[in-house]
Amino acid sequence: MVTALALGGLLTLTGCGGDNGGGGGKQARPSGSASKSGSGFQPPPPKGPDRTGPAPSAVPAVRDWKAVRGPGWERTRYTRVVTDTASLAGEAKLLASELKVKTAQGPARTGDIELKRGGKGGGESYSLTSRAGTVTITGAGDAGVFYGTRTLLQTYRAQHRFAEGTVHDKPDRAQRGFSLDIARKPFSADWIEARIREMGDLKLNQFQLHLSDDQAVRVESETHPEVVSDPHLTKAQVRRIVKLAASRHITVIPEVDSPGHLGAVIKAHPDLQLRSASGATPRGAVDIGNPRAAKIVDDLLKEYGDLFPGTYTHLGGDEYQALMAQDPEATYPGLAKRARERYGKDARVQDLTTAWLNDRAKTVRGQGKTPQLWNDGMHRGGVVKPSRHRQVNYWTGKEAGVRPPEEYLKEGWKVVNLNDEYLYYVLGQPNDFAYPTGQRIYERWTPAVVRGTKPVPSRYAGPQHILGGRFAVWGDIAGAQTQGQVAQGIRLPLAATAQKLWDPRKPKESWSGFVSLVNRVD
């Protein structure tokens, strides 16, 4: 989550006008090194005694390619996308529409592309074999087949053929995503859908939506319509977004942030506002001792949990102002009293906050979901311990009471990397934030670099500990960029993030070569 010192507007939903390229189509390309120079590049047909063609052109790059002799595959007027697997009908139809060919049932013939299920290596792994003029994509799961179609499509865009040989490919990290603050900066449904299509081509599989904040709640609610602001996404728009994401094997993760960042709820229910001993009202902080606050948040979590049927719900948990006071117990004696009454004489405000998040986690687990929380909602020590199972989204090492990522990893928590040093695109660049560059991510960041610029110890760096990462856009100063400028500004950083989550090893391609590749495959 991003710091609450500078705030702006939010997501454009129903009837939101496109501002300077904010619609669902392709966005204007960056100037300079990211221009479309070289976009007409087409390797010549293989020549010479070996007659092996070029490696696939894909972002992220394939992990294993074995070229063999032969002319390779080319699309012809007779090419079809063939599958006899019912669950792959959507993948076949999508690829056929992109290549402007027909779909068919098997058997495959020369010139066809065949989609199949089979093999090992996890549901996102796949093999792609180009042999004798036919391409066969085999995935351990439907997602793997889809990723194989992305490799084929991107290579076709760049080369207009696919060389003879075999690809074996799979991601290094299970969670590979993009996070968007729609509570402060308006983004149209068309803009969101365009990003989902972009994510699909990059083999990203998670899309986190920050639905609520101090400024607004931006998704239609039937349980609490009084907290929803205009403009907002209708449930019909959300269902269309979720359906499009599912067609690209992307899970949409809703975030209802609490117990801080609830200003929009407090506006509709001022009696829930937390007050200090001096009468101060910290922005966005609800009185967590008031059961009505918990009921409203739980109502929203349940309602949105049904609307977003994926595996995860994000509970927020960051920047609760009561815990940012120098002496929380003296500043908020009412909370301190409730903590002692409920959890014993040694309990503090921190324990009451941990219990609040435990209760919200129990709510979403009741829907069969895994809760995720920001790292500054997971506190050191205390009488009340964070409940399992949950996942820690580590974003910062700058907040009060900060804990290094190694502490969470030593305690056995699974971590998702949203390192604000590399992966935070904060509109207006407040509070020492700078717009991240794709080159810096590509050359310096890996999933093991969770905080700052140094990786965690190697024993904690693997995918069993750090599950993956997300690139995040935050709308702190909402008017600092238009939707079109955001789309342009994140294009290369998002591609670089996808590359390093798929394969954290040092890339073989130089940065300038990677930029050229991104331009050719788009």
Instruction: List C-alpha distances in Å: 196 to 12, 393, 425.
Output: 16, 21, 18
3-state SS assignment for residue 361 = helix
Summarised one tens digit per residue, pLDDT across range 334-346 is 999 999 999 999 9
Tell me, rounded to whole angstroms, the distance of Cα 199 from its chain centroid.
9
Q: What sign does the dihedral 297-299-305-308 (CA atoms) show?
A: negative
Nearest CA among 394, 269, 262 for reference residue 321: 262
- Give the whole-angstrom CA distance, residue 307 versus residue 254: 9
Phi, psi of 304 (to 5 degrees): -75, -30
**27 pLDDT above the threshold of 50:** no
Q: Which of 28-32, 265-269, 503-507 is predicted least confidently? A: 28-32
**289 pLDDT above the threshold of 90:** yes
Q: Indicate the average pLDDT of the chain.
A: 92
Amino acid 40: pLDDT: 44
Summarised one tens digit per residue, pLDDT across range 114-165 is 999 998 888 999 999 999 999 999 999 999 999 999 999 999 999 999 999 9
Identity at 510, one-letter amino acid code: S
Phi, psi of 178 (to 5 degrees): -135, 135
3-state SS assignment for residue 218 = strand
**392 pLDDT above the threshold of 50:** yes
What size, in residues, is the chain?
Answer: 522
- Give the whole-angstrom CA distance, residue 322 versus residue 319: 9
Residue 11 near residue 182, CB atoms below 8 Å: yes
H or E segment at 340?
helix 333-343
Q: Judge if the upstream peptide bond of residue 107 is cis by omega within 30 degrees of 0.
A: yes
Phi, psi of 371 (to 5 degrees): -80, 145
Please give the average per-residue pLDDT across 230-255, as a whole number.
98
Amino acid 446: pLDDT: 98
Summarised one tens digit per residue, pLDDT across range 356-385 is 999 999 999 999 999 999 999 999 999 999
Please give the average per-residue pLDDT across 38-57, as a whole number.
64
* Start-end of H helices in 113-186: 142-159
Residue 282, judged by CB atoms within 10 A of its CB (0-12, 13-18, 19+), counts as: buried
Q: Which residues contact 374 (CB under 8 A, 6 or more apart)?
A: 1, 316, 317, 318, 392, 393, 395
Q: What six digits make up the tokens of 223?
A: 């349980």
Please give the average per-residue pLDDT across 95-121, as a whole number.
95
Residue 111 near residue 73, CB atoms below 8 Å: yes
Residue 187 near residue 134, CB atoms below 8 Å: no
- Sheet containing 165-169: give its strands across: 64-67, 165-169, 126-131, 134-139, 113-117, 80-82, 102-104
Residue 408 near residue 378, CB atoms below 8 Å: yes
**201 pLDDT above the threshold of 90:** yes
Summarised one tens digit per residue, pLDDT across range 419-461 is 999 999 999 999 999 999 999 999 999 999 999 999 999 999 9
- Give the whole-angstrom CA distance, residue 457 versus residue 451: 12
pTM over 0.85, yes/no: yes
Residue 118 near residue 140, CB atoms below 8 Å: yes
Amino acid 43: pLDDT: 56
Summarised one tens digit per residue, pLDDT across range 58-87 is 999 999 999 999 999 999 999 999 999 999
* Start-end of H helices in 103-174: 142-159
Q: Judge if the upstream peptide bond of residue 231 is cis by omega within 30 degrees of 0.
A: yes
- Give the whole-angstrom CA distance, residue 449 versus residue 244: 32
**31 pLDDT above the threshold of 80:** no
